[in-house]
Structure 1
Amino acid sequence: MNTKLHKTAFINSLIVTLALLLGACSNSSKSSTASVKKDLNWMQTSEITTLDPSLPMDTASESQIVDSNEGLFRYGSHSKLEKALVKSEKISRDGLTRTYILRKSKWSNGQPLTAQDFVYGWKRTVNPKTGSQYGYLFSGIKNADAIVNGKRSSQTLGVKAVGKHKLVVSFKKRVPYFDQLLTKTYFFPENKAAVKKYGSKYGTSSKYVLSNGPYKIENWNSGENTWKLVKNKNYWDAQDVKTQIVNMSVQKTTSTSYDLYQAKKLDATNLDSNQAKNLENNSAFHLFSPD
């Protein structure tokens, strides 16, 4: 992350998503450790609706789940696909079997994360009873379409765990972009014990989820406009997460967020077109666009 982030203002229509900004925090070089701000005051333009990885339908929820969880792959700098929880991948010659070897990692409660957590999470997402609107993304995996359409059990999905750290996915057809899909929350692992324990409350509050990513979400309940992202000490790459706390708030208008930015209560703000025009010569002005 830019070590001068607290001086940065972003244009609303072209802003890099918060997920990429926090991802940059976790990938900061060790040489910049001393100059990285240890806490940030940050904003989103809308509320979180759920922290259930199977269910997000809005960018606010999805971005916060991405900041507090992780799948097999992630997007790094310049939107380059890179390995996250996967150590290695093997694709069969016919492209119909992919084998992933997982790195050792833990949930935020210290419990080991295993390949079975991916199996459980994927089967839960494609199960129509879960209510995910994105089960169709699994199309191409054996039996996925039939499961989503209610014609087969979710237990027949073409994914299995072999031991603790090997995940094998079987396809009915080639899906060349499959690794890109694995960056989406719907393909994240889910802790079965937590889902069963919290039941219908799962994902409705930061108290009712587990995290496996660089941050844990704290002090969020459904409908609230503030929360915290706190460094997850059990994250496999915690040594490279330099920012300790991100204080989040929902700011729906750029006039309010800019006032808070000027009062040093926010470390960055989106700008509307008029604000951007007036501030484009300001040394704190930066234009970020997706790579």
Structure 2
Amino acid sequence: MTINCKGTLIDLTQPKVMGILNCTPDSFFDGGKYKAETEFIKQAERILTEGADFIDVGAYSTKPNADFVSEEEELARMVPAVELILKHFPEAIISADTFRAAVAKAAIEAGAAIVNDIAAGGLDDKMMQTVGELKVPYIMMHMRGTPQTMTKLTDYEDIVKEMLLYFSQKTAEARSFGIDDIIIDPGFGFAKTLQQNYEVLNKMELFKMTEFPILAGVSRKSMIYKLLGVTPQEALNGTTVLNTIALSKGANILRVHDVKEAVEAVKIYSHFLR
């Protein structure tokens, strides 16, 4: 189970960690923290030093009810961020977190290696064609609606069954556009209630039947802090618990804010399986 990142084959049979680096002013946990160039680079260095395999750069906050960001603004944030990271850390493998084809194309041309799309092509009908032409790995997430409307779109008869059908359709579409390396993301927190998030996590091993790698992104999300009655800043312990559960359910990539703790979870869990 490998993905090709700029000519380097990454083996996902051993779980990997993806560190989140937002260049947005309104992300739910770290929004606006890394505005200054020096602080941004310092955080990128920390992500890599702590052992992340990938850096996921986001230029459009996708938290519930997030403000709309124009394509021009997203491009103006994304491209310089990718270029800046690679200027200082040429070997970094960057994932571009965007649902827009034009932003994905610009990010890959700037040196990013992966496209991470929360909408699996649902918010830009040119996305899959673009990714297929770029010949890069594609992370496709499950969601409904947009970040502005998704909280109202949580009516499912059988959420896991419907998600499996969604991924069956989306991966087939991706294949038709020549996308070879596909990773699926259950989309915790996107168009799902708190209880639905836990149902999906509890049954996440069922997504292995797709035969695609699975990315789990639960880091400091409301399914943790609302359940515990704490803030996102106080949700690290809960995040580690859910990351460990995700690993036990077959996660191949953990997408996290806190790299050191996730790397330790992977190391301990992997040793436990020996």
**TM tier, smaller:** under 0.3
**Could you say which structure has the higher helix fraction?**
2
- Structure whose CA Rg is larger: 1
